[in-house]
């Protein structure tokens, strides 16, 4: 009945839950925050979840993208390579709504938004090719190995805690920080927090290097998809 309103209510409700848990229960604080530590912690967690939820939606849907559309494969000529695009753009739409919700809260709590928030689209643009690569690779692999969906459910659950969603990379030992930065979600999560919450411009060099490897991964995923698509109809 509420339609699109639910897309705004859900992230705001979750932000309220995080605020209650971290402010009222755990009395948690984020590094380098002097006041409103618990509320700042909730905002930092919410910003991290923006990126993780986008990855989670794409990774969980990808193994079944082709399997769920057998008619598009067997009966009509359809550019099935656009199915991962649909999944990724759908995830970005939900992300946009969550970003709007976060900005509304920041306006209420801080009285304004930093100018650096304008760099957020560029940060997410570097993340786009990686998500497409995940979509192409997993959607093709899922046709031939039906257990990929179950495996990705476990991988996504592990990624939530192996990514800096509920903590900052700065709190880890230097040896652990190296391994953490091998996680493809780490840089994007940290840069989203940088431009939205800290009011700083992103690390352009790191972001450019990430975009390069992200694009390379997308090319590999697309190549794998094209090489295996000839067998989709026979398997389905």
Task: Give the residue with greater pLDDT, 235 vs 225.
Answer: 225
Task: Give the residue with greater pLDDT, 191 vs 104.
Answer: 191
According to the model, what pLDDT value does residue 96 have? 92
Q: What count of other Cβ atoms lies within 10 Å of the Cβ of residue 71?
A: 9
3-state SS, residue 150: helix
144 Cα distance to chain centroid: 26
Nearest in space to 46 (alpha carbons), one of 197, 214, 217 = 197
pLDDT in tens, 22-70: 777 777 677 776 555 667 888 888 899 999 999 999 999 999 998 888 7
Mean pLDDT of 203-227: 96
According to the model, what pLDDT value does residue 33 have? 66
| Statement: the pTM of the whole predicted model exceeds 0.85 | yes
CA–CA dist 191, 197 (Å, integer): 10
According to the model, what pLDDT value does residue 175 have? 80
According to the model, what pLDDT value does residue 37 have? 61
* DSSP tag of 20: I
According to the model, what pLDDT value does residue 230 have? 85
In Å, what is the CA distance from 143 to each residue of 21, 34, 78, 81, 211?
Answer: 41, 51, 17, 14, 28
CA–CA dist 192, 50 (Å, integer): 9
pLDDT in tens, 173-182: 888 888 888 9
According to the model, what pLDDT value does residue 34 have? 57
pLDDT in tens, 69-106: 878 777 667 788 899 999 999 999 989 988 998 898 89
Token readout for 108 is 């209420």
4: left (phi over 0), alpha (psi -120 to 50) or beta: alpha
Using a CB cutoff of 8 Å and minimum separation of 24, what contacts does 169-173 make?
Answer: 170/31, 171/31
According to the model, what pLDDT value does residue 35 have? 56
b/e per residue 103-134 (b: at least 16 CB within 10 A): eebbeeeeeeebebbebbebbbebbbbbbbbb
pLDDT in tens, 142-165: 999 889 989 999 999 999 889 998
Task: Give the residue with greater pLDDT, 227 vs 71.
Answer: 227
According to the model, what pLDDT value does residue 227 have? 93
Across all residues in the chain, what is the average pLDDT? Answer: 88
In Å, what is the CA distance from 232 to each residue of 7, 91, 206, 207?
Answer: 34, 25, 38, 36
According to the model, what pLDDT value does residue 76 have? 66
């Amino acid at each position: 009945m509420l339609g699109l309103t639910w897309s705004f209510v859900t992230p705001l409700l979750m932000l309220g839950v995080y605020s209650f848990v971290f402010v009222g229960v755990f009395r948690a604080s984020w590094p380098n925050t002097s006041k409103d530590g618990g509320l700042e912690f909730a905002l930092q967690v919410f910003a991290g979840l923006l990126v993780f939820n986008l990855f989670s939606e794409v990774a969980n849907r990808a193994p079944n993208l082709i399997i769920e559309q057998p008619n598009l494969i067997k009966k009509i000529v359809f550019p099935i390579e656009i199915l991962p695009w649909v999944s990724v753009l759908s995830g970005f739409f939900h992300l946009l709504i969550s970003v709007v919700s976060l900005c509304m809260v920041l306006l209420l709590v801080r009285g304004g938004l930093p100018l650096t928030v304008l760099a957020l689209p560029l940060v997410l643009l570097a993340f786009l090719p990686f998500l497409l690569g995940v979509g192409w690779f997993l959607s093709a692999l899922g046709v031939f190995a039906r257990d990929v969906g179950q495996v990705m459910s476990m991988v996504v659950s592990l990624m939530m805690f192996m990514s800096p969603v509920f903590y900052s990379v700065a709190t880890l030992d230097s040896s652990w920080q190296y391994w953490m930065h091998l996680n493809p979600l780490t840089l994007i999560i940290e840069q989203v927090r940088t431009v939205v919450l800290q009011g700083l411009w992103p690390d352009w060099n790191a972001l450019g290097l990430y975009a390069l490897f992200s694009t390379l991964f997308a090319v590999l995923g697309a190549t794998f998809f094209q090489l295996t698509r000839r067998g989709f109809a026979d398997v389905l």
